[in-house]
Amino acid sequence: MPTFVQLADPEFGGEYEEARGRYYVGNSPGLLGPAYAPFDPSREGDLRSNMTLRMPIDRLTDRRTLLNALDSLQHGLDVNGRMATHDVNRRQAFDVILGQCSDAFDLSKESPRILERYDTRHITVGFSGSNRSANYRDHPSPLGRHLLLARRLCEAGCGMVTINNPAWDSHGDGVHPGVVYTMEHEARAVDHAVTVFLEDVAQRGLSEKILLVITCEFGRTPRIDRNGGRDHWPGLCPLVLAGGGWRMGQVIGRSDSRGERPNSDPITPRNLLGTIMQTLFDRSRVRLTDSVPRDLVQMIEETEPIPQLA
């Protein structure tokens, strides 16, 4: 299985296309190099066709042998380490074609009952306001199917799945919806999909193994304006965690009486990173792995998980 998969909802046009670009930049592998870039099914064209072997196995074996022979020559000329990246990518490609990876991406393998439980396509997301730009469009929410796919991928061995769920700009300015519309559409889709996901994961005995993280880039202004909207607010941001072997069922931290600032020790992005890292692997073993860049090791070592979860 790919180590990291990213799933992105269709965008609504306009500024959200730019936001989607930032999403891809944020998921880039950075110091680890392109071999660790996320796999995005929506960018791979006909995914099922690409994952299916369409030639005799002996012919594939001949081609693989030829590739290995050519690569042995290329390795001698490689001065920048790119061949190592190609080796990893090719090995993954053969594993996908020859293994059962493609089945995890195939939602038709699920029972109709499960598909119906997860389905959020009856909920319209986006904005159908009369003053919106022609560049914006609304559509049925795909979030439920994305979460079902995420469960299937994790169950099959994928380490990390990121889902982009856009269009939470509730400015109430005619171009963007107000709070009421956002809660009736975007929030309803999240409520439905997350509820089914957590129930499904628990029934499969995976709650201790899968950590669900729900968060965003910033919060919303504490006060609703005269147009029924809210704007960007960096002082507080929602964060919801479920599972992963941590101590659940609690509210951590509090805001001031106006909901503007933390009124307790703040939970920072580094705390979230530390929690995720400790869920994924034993952090003490990272320093013993030669292939991990030192800057990345230092960052992981300096992060601490949210203490109240332990």
- pLDDT at position 9 is 67
Please name the residues in contact with 207: beta carbons below 8 A apart, sequence gap of 6 or more.
Answer: 198, 201, 242, 243
Kindly report which listed range (38-47, 100-109, 209-218, 230-239) carries the lowest average pLDDT score: 38-47
Q: Is the pLDDT of residue 56 over 90?
A: no
CA-nearest of 229, 137, 223 to 180 is 229
User: Taking all residues of the chain, what is their mean pLDDT, rounded to a whole number?
Assistant: 83
| pLDDT tens digit sequence for 4-53 | 999 876 666 666 777 777 888 888 888 888 878 888 887 655 555 566 66
- Is residue 304 scored above 70 in pLDDT? yes
Range of lowest pLDDT (37-46, 135-144, 173-182, 280-289): 37-46
Q: What is the pLDDT of residue 63?
A: 63
d(CA 160, CA 290): 22
pLDDT at 136: 58
Of the pLDDT bands very low, low, confident and very high (cuts 50, 70, 90), residue 87 is low
| 29-38 per-position pLDDT tens digit | 888 888 788 8
pTM to 2 decimals? 0.83
Identify the residue with better confidence: 70 or 204: 204
Q: Region 246-271: what's the mean pLDDT?
A: 93
Phi and psi based region of residue 118 (left: phi greater than 0; alpha: psi -120 to 50; beta: remaining): alpha
pLDDT (0 to 100) of residue 282: 82
Reply yes or no on whether the pLDDT at 260 is more than 80: yes
pLDDT class for 188, splitting at 50, 70, 90? very high
Residue 173 has pLDDT above 70, yes or no: yes
Q: Which residues does residue 292 pair with via DSSP β-bridges, in sequence order?
A: none
Distance CA 125, CA 26 (A): 24
Mean pLDDT: which of 44-48, 87-91, 155-159, 188-192 is highest? 188-192
Segment 256-262 shows an average pLDDT of 93
290-301 pLDDT per residue, tens: 777 888 888 888
Show Cβ contacts of residue 301 under 8 Å, excluding neighbours closer than 6 positions: 283, 286, 287
Residue 84 pLDDT > 60: no
The confidence score (pLDDT) of residue 51 equals: 60
CA angle centred on 37, ends 72 and 194, rounded to 5°: 145
